Structure 1
Amino acid sequence: MDNSIYESMTAANQLLEKQNIISNNLANISTTGFKEKFIFAVHDKNINHNYQNTFREYYNLSSGRLNYTNRNLDLYIKDDGWLVVKDINGREGYTKNGHLNINANKKLTIQNNEVVGNNCHILVPSNSTLKILSNGVIKAIQNNNNHIIENTIGALKLVHLPINHLIHKENGLFYLKNDSKINKNNNIKHSNNIHVQYGMLEESNVNIVKNMIEMISNARQFEMQMKMISTCDQNSECANQLININN
C-alpha cells in the first residue's frame, strides 16, 4: 500500500515539473530567439542496480519564424549558428536573440549583456551608423562634411554549439555544461562558416498547440495520481478499522 502511494507521489511530482517547464515555454512565446524545453524519462539503473525513471532535459533547437524588422541592428543568425555574449559574471553565453543595442559605453549589447567580438573588443564610434556584413564584420559609417567614411571596427564572434553539452539558464542564455570537454576555458571557438542577415529576427519556436495539449494531458494525469493516493489512503484506513474490530 505504502509503495503504491510512493509511486503515485513520485509520478505526481514529475508531472508538476513537466507543467513548470511547459508554463515557461508558453510564457516565452513572444521572446525573441527562445528555444522550447522538454524533459523525458530514461529507464536507468541506480546505484543499487534497481531500475528507475530519471528525467533529462532537452531543447528544441529548430528555427523559429522570421520577423522582418528592417532595423540594421536586428540580426538573424542563420542555420545552427549562435551569437556570443558576456553575462554579468563575465562568462560566455550563447543566444539566438539578435536584437542588438548600443549602450551608454558605446558597446553592443543584447538584453544588457555585452556582445563578444571575434578576437576583438567592439567599440562603436560616436555619430556613426553600423552596418553588419553577412560574415559578422562590423562597419561604422560616418558622414564627415558630406564625405562618407567607412571603417571596420570589429567582428561578431559566431559559433556552432555542441547540442549534447548545453544547459539553459534562467537569464535566457545557453551555456556549456560544467562537465563539457570542449576546451579548458569552457568556451567555443569562432566559426567562419556561420552567416547573419540584418533586418530580421528569429522568433520563439514554441509550438503553442503542442504545449497546450501536453499541459492538459499532464493535468489529467496529475488528477489521476491524486485520486490513486486518496484511494490508497482510504483503503489503508478501512484496513486499520477492520484490524481494530477483530482485536
Structure 2
Amino acid sequence: MENAIYQSMLSAVKLLDKQAIIANNLANISTTGFKESFDFFIKKNNQKNFDHTLDEKIKKYYNFSSGNIQSTQNNLDLIVKNNGWLVIKDSYGKEAYTKNGHLQINEQGDLTIQGHEVVGRNGAIKIPNNADIKILSNGVIEAIKKNKNRFNTVKIGSLKLVALPMNHLIQNKNGLFYINEKSNNQNIPHSENINVQSGMLEESNVNSVKNMIDMISNARQYEMNMKIISVCDQNEEYANQLFNITI
C-alpha cells in the first residue's frame, strides 16, 4: 500500500512538471520566435534496481520547426533563413541565440533585441541618429543618407548569423538559447550560408490546440493519482481500525 502511494506521488510530481512546461508554452503563444519545449522521461532497463525511479532521467526536447511568418513592412524586423540564428549578448555579456528578429535601436544607438545587444561580425553595431536602415539578405546593415538630390548608402555593420548544433542547445530561464557544456564547439563562427529577409517576423511555433489537450490530459491523470492516494489512505485507516478491534 505504501508503495502505491509512493508511486502515485512520483507520478503526480512528474505531471506537475509537465504542466509547468505546457503552461510556459501557452504563455508564449504570441512571443516572436518562441520555440515550444517538451520533457521526456527516459527509462533504462535495469532489473537489479527495484526502485525504477532511479533508472529514469529527464531530457528536454525543443520543437525547432518554423512558426508562421508575419509581414510587418518594418525594415528593422527580419526572419533568419536556412535554420540560422541571431546572436545577442545576455545580461552577463555572454553570447546567446534567438529567433526573435524584432530589432530595436536604444537611446545609445545600439541595435538590440528585447533589450539585449545584437552581436555583429565585427563587434557592436551602432546606428547613426535619424538614419534610415536597410538590412540586406546577407545581414549587412546599411544607412541610407540623402545628399542633396541623391541617396547614398553607407555600410555601418553586419549581423553575426550562425548555424547551431541542435542536439547541444539548451534554453535558459531568460528565454535565450545557449550551447551546453557537453559540446566542444563553444565559439560558433559566422556562417556565410545563412540569409535574412527584412520586413517579416517569425511567430511562435506553439501548437495551442495540442498543448491544451495535453494540459487537460495531465490534469485528469493528476486527479487519478490523487484519488489513488486518497483510497490507499482510507484503506490504511480502515485496516488500523480493524487491527484495534481485534486487539
TM over 0.5: yes
| TMscore range, shorter length | over 0.9
Could you list the runs of 5+ residues in structure 1 that have no partner in the other structure?
Answer: none
Partner residue of 1:214?
Answer: 214
Distance (whole Å) between structure 2 residues aligned to residue 21 and residue 82 of structure 1: 23
**Paired positions, count:** 243
Judge conservation of contact 1:120–1:155 (CA < 8 Å) in 2: no
Q: How does 1:151-190 map to 2 (within 5 A)?
A: 151-182=154-185, 186-190=186-190
Q: How does 1:14-163 map to 2 (within 5 A)?
A: 14-44=14-44, 49=49, 51=52, 52-163=55-166
Partner residue of 1:230?
Answer: 230
Partner residue of 1:5?
Answer: 5
TM-score (norm 1): 0.94
Distance (whole Å) between structure 2 residues aligned to residue 157 and residue 112 of structure 1: 17
Of 87-96 and 126-135, more deviation after overlay is shown by: 126-135
State the shift of 1:187 in Å: 2.8
Distance (whole Å) between structure 1 residues aligned to residue 195 and residue 16 of structure 2: 40
**SS of the residue 1:220 aligns to:** helix
Judge conservation of contact 1:30–1:204 (CA < 8 Å) in 2: yes
- What is the one-letter code of the residue matched to 2:42? V
Gap change, CA 1:113 and 1:45, over 3 Å in 2: farther
1:211-231 CA-partner distances (Å, limit 9, x unpaired): 010000000000000000001
TM-score (norm 2): 0.94
- What is the one-letter code of the residue matched to 2:27? A
State the shift of 1:207 in Å: 0.2
1:113-170 CA-partner distances (Å, limit 9, x unpaired): 0000013331112231111111111111111333322111111011111111111122
- What is the one-letter code of the residue matched to 1:179? K
Judge conservation of contact 1:39–1:55 (CA < 8 Å) in 2: yes
Distance (whole Å) between structure 1 residues aligned to residue 111 and residue 4 of structure 2: 56
Runs of 4+ in 1 over 6 A off after TM superposition: none
Q: Aligned residues: percent identity?
A: 60
**SS of the residue 1:89 aligns to:** coil
State the shift of 1:45 in Å: 6.2
Of 111-120 and 196-205, more deviation after overlay is shown by: 111-120
- What is the one-letter code of the residue matched to 2:106? N
Judge conservation of contact 1:63–1:79 (CA < 8 Å) in 2: no
- What is the one-letter code of the residue matched to 1:166? L
Distance (whole Å) between structure 1 residues aligned to residue 187 and residue 6 of structure 2: 42
1:188-212 CA-partner distances (Å, limit 9, x unpaired): 1111111000000000000011001
Partner residue of 2:199?
Answer: 199
Could you list the runs of 5+ residues in structure 2 that have no partner in the other structure?
Answer: none
**SS of the residue 1:58 aligns to:** strand
